[in-house]
Structure 1
């Protein structure tokens, strides 16, 4: 993608600043891919800017999806009404055996288009054929933290000569900080139950020596949690911490069944938790104790998981589901302030990805912006913008998505993706590989 950042001027906006704060009648400008001004006056000498009138709009940072398997858009709708282990063993693993680099590229691009339409600017992905994922991300203009998912089933497995590990190293060598930093390469291990301790320790050593992020599934189901205790005499969090996998650069996906001791350990280590409410509900895995995670001082972001277990890649939907479900399971309407879910979807997600210059409407931060139309009937009236986002907004109300100052989507038009061509390629891929 060679499109240059635009100089944009958003006026008459309700700008969400995070932490429950917002500015009405706001003016926000972007220059050279960064936010250059936030205030209530239009700057002088503004002739270089393209002006966007946000009179009926919520202006906010773009969203972060910090747990995803983007190529699994190709499996959307297979394996319905199954718990996790049957879903994996009976449906997903056999389908994944038929994937090719070309199909992973198409699946990723389909995922990117869906996310861009919903205001997402960056996602964290763990899968395979990751160079194809990186290529698709670079073409679409998004950001992504990409990790080659690693497994080891033999006690004697080492990273030396391990083909998957070699893929991960090659990915780092070829794509780290590609696209002016839009691509970050993480390491990724699937889970405790799909890896042996010796291998995990070696992966952790490589990860920490090279200052890389880590993505891993943790305590997604009760069965996973209990069987780990039977195998090792400790929980998945305790086991993964012992191997060195969990550090302040790690994102632990799910954490549905974590204990109080687990939460204290996650907080001590500085681990981020990726909360995936829709996937956890759909697979009947449970509901993560997010109010306790927050109280423990843990950074919590939002993820969609793969489209096969969701079946959408909408961070707005995750935000809204999370904002509702925790009220229900705790029977406390005030259990978590509504604005916190916005922070999970934006600033907390950027922090999880190691993108401290992103995730917030703030001068000097990257110009990652989502504009939502609040003139739709479902949004009228709007007394509180954070409440509107959590309970009223439809994901299709997104009017504009901007990443690093480049417009990726605006008023129904994709700027970096030929959507009709993508539809054809996705349908062809399904018919060719999965018929």
Structure 2
């Protein structure tokens, strides 16, 4: 069932409201937000007009919906790598034998479509109102398909989620040649065919579902793309005027591979190919010249800042892997647009903001980075990355994309400042109500026609089925229990 817009003029109020003035957020104690026909008409105190419905959210923060530039949209496989390392030995990279036999899909088409719908419910549950889906290609035959993204558009329309969709494509992949040695395989015609299919998807689905469904281009990782694929993508971005997302500077392996293959750092190479522009969104950017052991002399940050490209900061997944931005404030002060992404389970934007604040301070930015910086990145920063001045803020004329975060759970502690309190003690579980384009898509933690318990059970069944296939695609084909060893020895009950 499609979620429909509320009829008439709706007034929401709470102990705190995040308003917007002079280019930034402001806090309004006991403020009011009024929306009608999908748009915000008033933010402030003492609305003078008539309303058709009043919603008092009580001890809560009403704020703009979060914008997720790298939004988890499958059953997350990165969780399999938490304690199971190295990646080449644990099925995170295909063995040569698997690649030569012909990689296959590890899920059925129906399962892939269902996973998008399931993932979208989790995004909404965490207060995310605009999402750019991301999924792993490790368990795929090659790239993502038209069918599953047609299903994603249908799911977004039904659930009321604002999305930017585009199937991922690539020219190559890595594989394990021998123990500890990673090599590259390229199939450029396959990559270019993927680009053409993605371009056709954009032409077909752009600005559909009443404007909820927009499109983007999604070449996979920079090291798996050839020059012609990236040049062709850049031309398609110019022709279609859609955003493009490319994972970049996320590991020493990637950075050094690009240097070896192309003689330039990743930012240098993208700049050389004409790929960088204000339409480009680059997740991670944690491995940059001068930090993380990278000694290349390229002025990477300056190249990125001058291009207008945006960073999709995903601190949780990077911290799990042992890396972080070396200076969030340094990126910000150079003028790089900073938005946020989740990129892993849970797709909890509040947790990601918390991790972003902690890692920034661990990196030495204690006096230069605040809770407000991360909240701004998750709202205004994402909107700026998308070129949308009608998202990420609560102000008359903006779209009515709103989340309500409860402040009355004893676990959240005492409130001095609502933003700081959320970044200290909050969680995605504290999101109570979500409005997208004037549609109440979640109210008091519940979504229409959505059974989260049943969906979680179905997700576990599909995930277990995928994990069972790992021996076939893992170097030397060990059994599952050897690939994914338990934290502690398991002792079954004896009769």
| Same fold (TM > 0.5) | yes
Secondary structure at 1:301 match in 2? strand
Q: Is the counterpart of residue 108 in structure 1 residue 139 in structure 2?
A: no
Distance 1:431 1:229, change over 3 A: closer
Q: CA deviation at 1:170?
A: 2.9
Q: Is the counterpart of residue 28 in structure 1 residue 58 in structure 2?
A: no
Matches of 1:13 and 1:32 in 2, distance apart?
A: 25
Runs of at least 5 residues in structure 2 that lack an aligned partner in the other structure: 136-143, 173-184, 291-298, 469-495
Residues 104-253 of structure 1 aligned to structure 2 (within 5 Å): 104-127=112-135, 128-129=144-145, 130-153=149-172, 157=188, 162-253=192-283
Secondary structure at 1:217 match in 2? coil
Distance 1:244 1:69, change over 3 A: farther
2:355 corresponding residue in structure 1 = 321
2:81 corresponding residue in structure 1 = 79
Q: CA deviation at 1:336?
A: 0.9
Q: Is the counterpart of residue 281 in structure 1 residue 281 in structure 2?
A: no
Per-residue CA deviations over 1:174-215 (Å, capped at 9, x if unaligned) read 211111221111112112210111222122112212212100
Q: Is the counterpart of residue 45 in structure 1 residue 40 in structure 2?
A: no
Matches of 1:13 and 1:286 in 2, distance apart?
A: 35
Distance 1:348 1:66, change over 3 A: same
2:483 corresponding residue in structure 1 = none
Per-residue CA deviations over 1:11-60 (Å, capped at 9, x if unaligned) read 243111363521111011110011111121143322x12x1113301110
Q: Give the alignment's Cα RMSD to 1 decimal.
A: 2.5
Structure with more of its chain in helix, by fraction: 1
Worse overlay, 412-421 or 128-137: 412-421
Q: Is the counterpart of residue 294 in structure 1 residue 332 in structure 2?
A: yes
Secondary structure at 1:218 match in 2? coil
Secondary structure at 2:300 match in 1? helix
Matches of 1:100 and 1:370 in 2, distance apart?
A: 34
Distance 1:52 1:271, change over 3 A: same
Q: CA deviation at 1:231?
A: 2.4
Q: Is the 8 A contact 2:39 2:400 kept in 1?
A: yes
Matches of 1:197 and 1:44 in 2, distance apart?
A: 57
Matches of 1:370 and 1:150 in 2, distance apart?
A: 33
Secondary structure at 1:414 match in 2? coil
Q: Is the 8 A contact 1:104 1:133 kept in 2?
A: no
Secondary structure at 1:413 match in 2? coil
Distance 1:393 1:348, change over 3 A: same
2:17 corresponding residue in structure 1 = 15
Taking structure 2 as the reference length, what is the TM-score of the superposition?
A: 0.80
Per-residue CA deviations over 1:196-247 (Å, capped at 9, x if unaligned) read 1122212211221221210001110122112222222211011012212221
Secondary structure at 1:72 match in 2? coil
Runs of at least 5 residues in structure 1 that lack an aligned partner in the other structure: none
Distance 1:409 1:113, change over 3 A: same
2:477 corresponding residue in structure 1 = none
1:363 corresponding residue in structure 2 = 396
Matches of 1:90 and 1:69 in 2, distance apart?
A: 22
Per-residue CA deviations over 1:87-143 (Å, capped at 9, x if unaligned) read 63159x999831333222221122111111111111112451322322222221101
Q: CA deviation at 1:3?
A: 3.3
> Size of the alignment, in residue pairs?
425
Distance 1:430 1:381, change over 3 A: closer
2:140 corresponding residue in structure 1 = none
Q: Is the 8 A contact 2:81 2:87 kept in 1?
A: no
Question: Rg bigger for which structure?
Answer: 2
Q: Is the 8 A contact 2:3 2:441 kept in 1?
A: no
Matches of 1:229 and 1:252 in 2, distance apart?
A: 18
Matches of 1:413 and 1:196 in 2, distance apart?
A: 45
1:257 corresponding residue in structure 2 = 287
